[in-house]
């Protein structure tokens, strides 16, 4: 394991007090940028199972080109991970911890919160739901604000980039949910 996921993980702490707030998307905390993106990614139980597996095993994130290092192969409360985007010296690895996982038959996914060392402060959830009519819906819900100088400097560029990444996740998950 890496130092982040090994001996340093217990010393990293969540950087925001509203832990679990993405569980109730209509009640996101004030003082943060809010993101809500929803996309239909398939139909039926097989698509739901494939999408749920891709989300909870980090496969969806990896399929976008992100590198994920986690101290477990599947999302569970307390799992520490680092998601890295970019290449070489331009790669940005961000430390997170899974803060909640839904325990429902037709709902799967997780939410992670930012840890010390993350350039943003907040929480993001990735949920897949099998609706009564068989529609499989993927929803990203997040609240965040800059935590370091360079994300404060980037200011208005960060929310559109976050929205673009959420849309990309939905497109990738549509492909993964359709795969046999």
CATH number at residue 131: 3.30.530.20
Residue 110: φ, ψ to 5°: -170, 170
Question: What pLDDT, on the 0 to 100 scale, is given for residue 9?
Answer: 58
Q: Is 106 a member of any domain?
A: yes
* Residue 85: pLDDT over 90: no
Question: Using alpha carbons only, what angle is made at residue 3 by residues 126 and 84, rounded to the nearest 5 degrees?
Answer: 40
Domain membership of residue 58 (yes or no) is yes
Q: What is the pLDDT of residues 140-178, one digit of tens each?
A: 999 999 888 888 888 788 889 899 999 999 999 999 999
Statement: residue 32 has pLDDT above 80? yes
- Asked if the structure places residue 117 within a domain, the reply is yes
pLDDT at 73: 95
Q: Is residue 147 part of a domain?
A: yes
Contact between residue 22 and residue 123 where contact means Cβ atoms under 8 Å apart = yes
Residue 2 lies in a domain: no
The backbone region for 24, taken as left when phi is positive above 0, alpha when psi lies in -120 to 50, beta otherwise, is beta
Comparing 4-8, 88-92, 174-178, the range with the smallest average pLDDT is 4-8
% of the chain beyond a pLDDT of 70? 94
Domain count for the chain, please give it.
1
**Rg (Cα) of the chain, in Å, rounded?**
16
Q: Residue for token digits 């949910």?
A: 177
Answer yes or no: is 1 within a domain. Answer: no
In a domain, 24, yes or no: no
Is residue 70 situated within a structural domain?
yes
CA angle (25, 22, 90) in 5-degree steps: 120
CB 80 within 8 A of CB 71: yes
- Give residue 180's pLDDT band: very low, low, confident or very high (50, 70, 90): low
What is the domain range of residue 60? 9-19+32-178
């Amino acid at each position: 394991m890496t130092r982040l996921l090994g001996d340093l993980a217990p010393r990293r702490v969540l950087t925001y007090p509203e832990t679990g707030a993405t569980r109730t998307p209509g009640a996101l905390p004030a003082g943060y940028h809010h993101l809500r993106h929803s996309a239909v990614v398939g139909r039926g139980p097989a698509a739901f199972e494939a999408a749920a597996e891709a989300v909870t095993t980090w496969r969806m994130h990896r399929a976008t080109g992100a590198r994920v290092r986690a101290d477990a192969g599947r999302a569970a409360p307390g799992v520490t991970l680092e998601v890295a985007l970019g290449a070489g010296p331009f790669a940005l690895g961000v430390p997170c911890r899974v803060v909640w996982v839904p325990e429902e038959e037709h709902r799967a996914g997780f939410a992670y919160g930012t840890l010390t060392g993350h350039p943003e402060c907040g929480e993001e959830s990735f949920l897949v739901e099998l609706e009564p009519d068989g529609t499989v819906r993927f929803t990203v819900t997040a609240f965040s604000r800059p935590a370091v100088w360079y994300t404060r400097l980037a200011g208005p560029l960060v929310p559109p980039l976050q929205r673009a990444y959420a849309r990309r996740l939905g497109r990738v998950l549509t492909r993964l949910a359709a795969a046999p």
